[in-house]
Structure 1
């Protein structure tokens, strides 16, 4: 009598799905590419991540425009390095990846300046010495904001 349930675990049965197998293969390839690229001298100190590989084109996301410029200058030799590492990459597309603020970062409020008694006195003295000008108005606003008077 045959059992209605498969003898395979849920993970094992999921691994047999063609789409899942393809995703796992892509993830493994991306991880291998990342390891190879991390050894590349032009990327030392650069935050980056490896994106998808479509056909023979790799997408790399970098953290800043400066990193993008630095990497763009050495793309031909990076492609050669990847090919020498038995990766079938003939083109690399670079893109700046901006990181959105996390909810904790959004909740943070800017720090308020804390002035010592000497600093408070210096700002009040400066306000009293200045003639009417935009600088005096800014100093008055600062002193009022911090309730120095």
Structure 2
């Protein structure tokens, strides 16, 4: 038995389903919420993500307890801002994200320590004086890892 071919493209036939339309609408609404919230002063420099908006209640996930406290103080004005932007939000629930949210600052590579000539000489001397042990192996690894001036 041959399958029936639709005259719709795969994307168009996917969009015909009511559940798909609802998901697309939720994604669009989430994107609009995130854009509106991103410039909010209390959230500058804070790693956060926008959760679902259900029954006029928005859920925001923040990365740290300090960010949660800072944001909690400005919730009434944030709700007013969202309502003035045309979003139907009457309550915001804050939650600390259990898995770490990645901020731009944490994506940067850590700086490597740079030893001065005196420090280099001291660490190399220490490595040469130590007997074979875990401490000598760690000192050797340190000497290989760090840059020297």
TM-score normalised according to structure 1 size: 0.68
| 2:139 aligned residue (120, 138, 146) | 146
Offset from partner CA, 1:43-70 (integer Å, 9 cap, x none): 1111111110111100111122211111
RMSD: 3.3
**Distance in 1 (alpha carbons) for counterparts of 2:88 and 2:114:** 58
The match for 1:29 is: 29
| Structure 1 unpaired stretches of 5+ | 102-112, 126-139
| Structure 2 unpaired stretches of 5+ | 103-112, 127-132, 141-149
1:69 aligned onto 2:69? yes
The match for 1:110 is: none
Offset from partner CA, 1:43-101 (integer Å, 9 cap, x none): 11111111101111001111222111110110111011111111110111111222389
TM-score normalised according to structure 2 size: 0.68
SS in 1 for 2:45: coil
SS in 2 for 1:60: strand
**Distance in 2 (alpha carbons) for counterparts of 1:86 and 1:44:** 22
Alignment size in residue pairs: 123
Change (3 A) 1:144 1:50: closer
SS in 2 for 1:51: strand
Report the structure number with the largest CA radius of gyration.
1
The match for 2:81 is: 81
